[in-house]
Structure 1
Amino acid sequence: MAAHTDQAFDAEELRTVVAEALELPVEEVTDDARFKEDLEVDSLISLEIAVRVEERYGVKIDESRLAEMGSFRLVRELIEAELNGASAT
């Protein structure tokens, strides 16, 4: 697994992972862009993002929870918290 729990978290790398899943330019994935309303994320795309995040960071996010989170900023904060918690143990 390509988890990054031993390295510093890079929010821009995560932004790129999400943009690639959405097939959008990375500039469109702003901190406050709302997944459903602004980026048109549906359940299939939520699943794709969740899979890519788990593959890259080793953090599992249920795709339904991802859709509820609403914005890139909230997903970033969740992943940072998970990685910090994982590295603290």
Structure 2
Amino acid sequence: MANVERITVTVSTDMAATLRHTVEDGEYATTSEIVREALREWARKRDNELRDLEVLRAAIKEGLDSGSGIPAEDVFAELRARFAKKD
């Protein structure tokens, strides 16, 4: 692995035991491998959340830029009138 930087991470005793057992069971070669995979998953999740946030911000901006809104009371009054005609 080129350009590797060592950092120290402190985990609970239980978590450390889980990491060691996972390596001992042969699921991973090292505890570092487990942590790297967890960090990759965290980064993917974070990237997805940031993309979703940008989409939400764009939708809010589009709504604000579209002009003045309609009071909720007017919208509900119109809906009530429409549904009253159907009965």
- TM bracket (short chain): 0.3 to 0.5
Q: Which has the higher helix share?
A: 2
Q: TM-score, normalised by structure 1?
A: 0.33
Larger Rg: 2
Higher relative contact order structure (alpha carbons within 8 Å, sequence separation ≥ 6): 1
